Amino acid sequence: MKAKVIKTEADYDAAMARIDELLDAKPGTPQADELEVLSILVELFEKKTFPIDLPDPISAIRFRMEQQGLEAKDLVPYLGSPSKVSEVLAGHRNLSLSMIRKLVDELGVPANVLVRQPSPQTELSEIRKFPVREMVKRRWFPGFVGTIHDVHQARNRLPELFAAFVRTAGEVALRPALNRQYVRSGSHMDPYALAAWRIRVLSLALAEKLPAYKKDTVTPSFLQELVRLSYLSEGPRLAREFLNKSGIHLIIESHLPGTFLDGAALRLPTGEPVVALTLRHDRLDSFWSTLCHVCAHLALHLDHDHAEAFFDDLAQRGTDKCEKAADMMAAEALIPAKQWAASGLRERHTPEAVRLFAERLRITPAIPAGRIRFERNDYRILKNLVGTGKVRCLFGPVNN
């Protein structure tokens, strides 16, 4: 469709439908350009139709703390004393003029936000940033089946609907900046779409009853045993059973527009580990590499650090030490480095050579084929070996 200014709800619905069609457009194509233009037009319409208020002072301060890695004790120079810090962050003390000046001058918190008083409307303004239309379409709110009429009705009941939706994850989930999470993405990530997806995954995991999880269950040998299931035709489904019996939830939930997600490792409020996949790329090589990567985060970081969650777009190269460590652990589990170096597949990667190598390791040929395509940055080769279309069918409808 030709992009045009959005003036009516009908225009808005048509634009959103077109955006759904363009989500996987490759950068630099006319389709990607159209997606960018439509996204801007939709954002302008939503700001006009559903105006968003400024955040309240406490949310703004906490957001800056998260950005700069500050703890409550680090605010003493700006607020005066540990007790004053606690009272301000709890909403029991108003900011004084001297506090505001220091927060503006030294922390860079906008003055027009700090001088505002918290109000009930602030919470609603946060909620309106979430992808309500897509959430209704996916039937994430009880009683709504996804029609355009339901979208309009849901917008009139947002506080009530979100209170029920977020109950399992806690109110902090409505404020994405306050979550201690790490995101690997080369695109602009919509934090509210990411928060909504996270809450959905947690709610699905909480509905499952699994054995108790034991810390340090995920080891290199555990991951190698998991990868051997790839040799079987129903390997992905067996992988879920394998993880579940070890107390690890495996949730399948399609990514929301604006998240660019392949998978995530996170924890329930009860502390139980969850690994979640979007199946954004319905291929066996993508399934196994993503699964091993998020399980590596569980082993290396969630079991030992204070991080709450890792969210990964694996089309992007890992740059920080956590991502590099997870990449290395996953790669070793999928194909041990010594065997990969001795395989000769970097120089001679015929389909037959790939199949023979996979047979010796008793794994799916999709795994070595995927690695060759990634290392050579050539996704035109070995298309028939990566298992396209062989994952989602094992899990049923991805969007519930």
Q: Tell me the domains of the chain and their CATH numbers.
A: 57-118 (1.10.260.40), 198-395 (no CATH)
User: Are the beta carbons of 234 and 394 closer than 8 angstroms?
Assistant: yes
Residues in contact with 45: Cβ distance below 8 Å, sequence separation at least 6, in sequence order: 6, 7, 11, 12, 15
Give the pair of three-digit tokens for residue 357.
């190598």
pLDDT of residue 153: 79
pLDDT of residue 316: 84
257 CB-contact burial (10 Å; exposed 0-12 / middle 13-18 / buried 19+): middle
Structure tokens at 113: 């936000």
Taking 50 as the pLDDT cut, the residues of the chain under it are 52-53, 118-122, 177-178, 400
What CA–CA distance (Å, rounded) separates 173 from 383? 40
Q: Is the pTM of this model over 0.85?
A: no
Q: What is the pLDDT of residue 317?
A: 80
CB atoms within 10 A of CB 337: 10
* Residue-by-residue DSSP string for 85-113: HHHHHTT-SPPPHHHHHHIIIII---HHH
